[in-house]
Amino acid sequence: MISKIKDLFIGVLFGLLSAGLILLVSKPKPGRAILLRPAPTPHPVVINIDGAVVSPGVYTLPIQSRVVDVVEAAGGLAENASPGSVNLAAELEDGSHIYIPARNPSLENPAELVGSAVGISESGEMISLVNINQASLEALIGLPGIGPVTAEKIINYREDQIFTRIEEIQKVPGIGPATFEQIKIYLTVGE
């Protein structure tokens, strides 16, 4: 009987030691604490605005600002502004360039309309078209992204060649595909 108790005691002791060894081996190793940081603060947006605004320039605005906010930061629209082709409610993206076009000469003064016609944009709005074969320097400068130097280049180019398609304006030095995309809805070569 003692031998049975002894065998039972050794069996229990061996079982407890085995269970302890299994627990020791399977215990997960202690890890490092996780450091939780606050969510990053969103950066403001930096916008370049030019064209028919009181103070063109680069402005820093809070995120989720709209085009109307950068127009207000630039002192508002100039008297000759034509904001109809710009979505003032559009949300700004960091690094954007906003151009507010100037109004083309009014229909009340036909002398100023040399080289201009009226067309309809894709959205159905009436827009003034500029005939690149006849437009004055001022009418060409009124196009988005076209300054006095480039307008002068257009006039010099057309002295030697007539534009037969609006795409040919890209042959003028300084007017590439990006500029053409901005101005193509405003262009015509006449009848």
Q: Are 47 and 98 in contact (CB under 8 A)?
A: yes
C-alpha span between 189 and 143 (Å, rounded):
15
Query: What does DSSP assign to residue 86?
Result: S
Q: Which pLDDT value is given to residue 69?
A: 94
Mean of pLDDT over the chain: 80
More confident: 181 or 34? 181
Pair 133, 163: CB distance under 8 Å: yes
Question: Which residues neighbour 181 within 8 Å (Cβ) at sequence distance 6 or greater?
Answer: none
Over residues 65-99, the pLDDT tens digits come to 998 999 999 999 988 887 776 788 888 888 888 87
Residue 35 pairs in a beta bridge with: none
Q: What is the mean pLDDT of residues 175-179?
A: 90
Give the tens place of pLDDT for each residue, 106-139.
433 444 444 444 444 455 455 678 888 888 888 8
**Count of Cβ atoms closer than 10 Å to residue 179 Cβ:** 18
Which of residues 108 and 64 earns the better pLDDT score?
64
Q: SS3 for 59?
A: strand
Question: In sequence order, which residues have a C-beta less than 8 Å from that of residue 101 and are 6 or more positions away?
Answer: 51, 52, 81, 82, 85, 86, 142, 143, 144
CA 50 from centre of chain: 15
